[in-house]
Structures are given as C-alpha cells and as structure tokens.
Amino acid sequence: MAVLRPRCCHRLGTWLRSGLLLGLSACSRSEWQEPEPDPDLVAADRERQAQIAAQARDTAAADAEREQLVLALLSEPVEPARSLEVSEFYAVLGYYCGQCHPTDPDFVRPPSWDGLYMGDLNELIQIGKITPGDGEASRVVSRIRSGDMPPVSATGPRLPPAMIERIVQFIDNLPTTQLPENAEQR
C-alpha cells in the first residue's frame, strides 16, 4: 500500500536533502585543514594520562593485596579464631565496604561528600558507629547483620558469618577507655 504525501512535504524533503548535501560538500573542500595541536597541551595531556594510569595501577595493586589478606583471614581455622589486628580490620572493611565507604588513609573528602569514611577507627567511635567493648551494640555490626550493609545493589562480596564474628571479636577487644596507639591506619 502506497503512502500518499502532500507535494509540499515532498518539496521540503528535497530542500532538506539538498541543503545537507551542500553542507557536507562544503566541509570536504580541500581548503579545510586541521589545526596543528599545541605541543604543550599534548605533553600535558600525555602526562595526565600517565598519572591516571599509574594511579589505576596503584589502586589495583592495593585492592589485590587487600583481597589476599582477607582470603588469608578467611582460610584461618575457625575455632578459636584469633582477634583481628587493626590493619586487618581496615583491610576487611576496605574489601567488603570500600566500594562505598573509603578506607584509604590518603582519602580527601570532597566538600559535598556526606558518606561514611571507614579509615579512622577513632572517628568511627566518636560518631557512634563502633562501641568499644561491645561489638554487638555497634551500629556497623547491626547494619551488617540486618543485611542493610553492604546493600543488595552493591556489586562486591557479602560478609560471611565467620568474618562478622571476627569483626565483633575485634570490637569486643577494643579498650573502653583509650584506644591502642596503633589505632590509626598507616
């Protein structure tokens, strides 16, 4: 079945096609030359790309190291499980929570950022996320146990029950009066 179009639309289509062809032919003239790139801008762009690549390599290496540590912790005998060290605690948080909550000690918070930074045990205690001496009462543990954290939408792994118990044990062993000297992440 043929579609009938009014003659004015046919003429309009012809005008548009011919205008487009004229525009394309003007762009393909030999007088057009690509401007020479500024050597300083090219060098700066290459340096910036190298910095980005180096940062990506460093991040990938740190992630791989963290994963190896967490896998080693998971492979330890369950009974009796030794308490996590402070550096292992940060590695566990970074592995399971670091997708949304940075643990990197060099993390600089942007002014508009309102997320939770998990790389400072003192801060986590001050803001009430961790209750020294009482792991089960800590908000971090209750959010993990309830299934809120990490959220279902997160692509990272979920904390296995044995690792949750290690976190609880770590918090239970924290002194209620003063934190150990090595509480800050290095």
pLDDT exceeds 70 at position 12? no
Is the model's pLDDT at 186 over the cut of 50?
A: no
Which range, of 45-54, 108-117, 162-171, 174-183, averages the lowest pLDDT? 174-183
For the chain, what is the domain count?
1
**Is residue 6 a part of any domain in this protein?**
no
Q: Express as a percent the part of the chain with pLDDT over 70.
A: 74
Q: Would you state the structure tokens that stand for residue 170, as one six-digit string?
A: 């770590």
**Any domain includes 18:** no
Question: Which of residues 113 and 173 earns the better pLDDT score?
Answer: 173
Q: What is the token pair recorded at 64?
A: 């791989």
Res. 143: pLDDT tops 80: yes
Mean pLDDT of 137-147: 88
Q: For residue 120, list its beta bridge partners.
A: 184
Residue-wise pLDDT for 72-105, tens only, equals: 777 666 666 677 888 888 888 888 887 778 777 7
Whether 146 maps to a domain, the answer reads: yes
Average pLDDT for 2-21: 56
pLDDT for residue 62: 79
Three-class DSSP labels, the chain: CCCCCCHHHHHHHHHHHHHHHHHHHHHCCCCCCCCCCCHHHHHHHHHHHHHHHHHHHHHHHHHHHHHHHHHHHHHCCCCCCCCCCHHHHHHHHHHHHCCCCCCCCCCCCCCCCCCCCCCEHHHHHHCCCCCCCCHHHCHHHHHHHHCCCCCCCCCCCCCCHHHHHHHHHHHHCCCCCCCCHHHECC
131: left (phi over 0), alpha (psi -120 to 50) or beta: beta
Task: For residue 137, tell me if it sits in a domain.
Answer: yes
CB 120 within 8 A of CB 185: yes
Mean local confidence (pLDDT), 148-165? 80
Q: Which range (10-19, 30-39, 112-121) has the least confidence?
A: 10-19
User: Greatest CA span in the chain, whole angstroms?
Assistant: 89
Q: Is residue 140 a contact partner of residue 167, using CB atoms and an 8 Å limit?
A: yes
**Segment 16-26, tens digit of pLDDT:** 566 565 565 55
* Average pLDDT score over residue span 7-35: 59
Q: Is residue 16 included in any domain, yes or no? A: no
* Range of the structural domain that residue 69 is part of: 56-106+120-186
Mean pLDDT of 25-35: 63
In a domain, 67, yes or no: yes
Give a yes or no: residue 25 inside a domain: no
Q: Is the pLDDT of residue 171 over 70?
A: yes
Residue 36 lies in a domain: no
